[in-house]
Copies of this chain bind each other. A is one copy, B any other.
Amino acid sequence: MPKTAEKPVPAPEKLIFAGVDLFRRHGYVATPVDAICAAAGVSKGAFFHHFASKEALAEACMDKWDERMAGWDAGHTATAGDGADAVTILATYMRRSIAFLADPKTFASCLPGTTVQEISESHPALRERSNQCFTKAHERFQTLLAAAANEKQTTVDTTALARLWIGTIQGALILFKASRDVSVIESNVSHVSQYILQQIGATDAEKATES
């Protein structure tokens, strides 16, 4: 047996993974440190060895979340970017986002969105992290938006439209959590994506890109 590597996932990573999952499902306040440890298969001693506090773990989770979302965005543009025009890239990005958001397996709850509501007035550092997640996602989307607008020679407030996109997703997720009806996500987000394409000046043909 010549070192048949069996990577021993380090405790911090296991804790972050479990934290993201539990915080998303039960919220920051309602998730006890013990539950995170149990889910990660790690002792409490190890937890506080690697993280100064529960809040510190939450911050790390937020970073992880942003990393994941950035990865998803990058993964998309890498696939669709080959030779396609900017409007098509934007349109397919939005269409794929809908499918991604509506899939209960991968999504159905946004970490910063869930967290910021509870801790907005009590944990300034965590609020700031949540805001950063939104800002980063905003910027990534705005890039696609600006390219499309430039291609169409239209002058639009890409900042406002990007905020609308992020906000629509957050709102749709809340309505989903209340109603348990995934169709809200699809309905709301696709309405807004139509509106955005229209503001950019896309033709009807461009709006209806293949999946």
- Residues on A close to B: CB < 8 A? 25-27, 29-30, 112-114, 116-122, 127, 130-131, 134, 160-161, 163-164, 166-172, 174-175, 177-179, 184, 187-188, 191-192, 195
Contacts and interface: CB of A to CB of B under 8 A. Distances in A.
A178 B120 contact: yes
B131 A178 contact: yes
Contacts of A117: 27, 113-114, 117-118, 174, 177
Contact of A178 (B25, B29, B130, B171): B130
B178 A134 contact: yes
Given A163-B188, A171-B174, 13 more contacts: A25-B121, A116-B178, A118-B118, A130-B178, A131-B179, A160-B187, A163-B175, A163-B187, A166-B175, A167-B184, A168-B171, A170-B171, A171-B172
Contacts of A112: 178
A122 B26 CA distance: 7
A39 to B, nearest CB: 14
Contact of A27 (B29, B113, B174, B179): B29
Contacts of A114: 117-118
Contact of A167 (B30, B166, B171): B171
Contacts of A122: 26, 30
A164 B167 CA distance: 11
A175 to B, nearest CB: 5
A178 B161 CA distance: 18
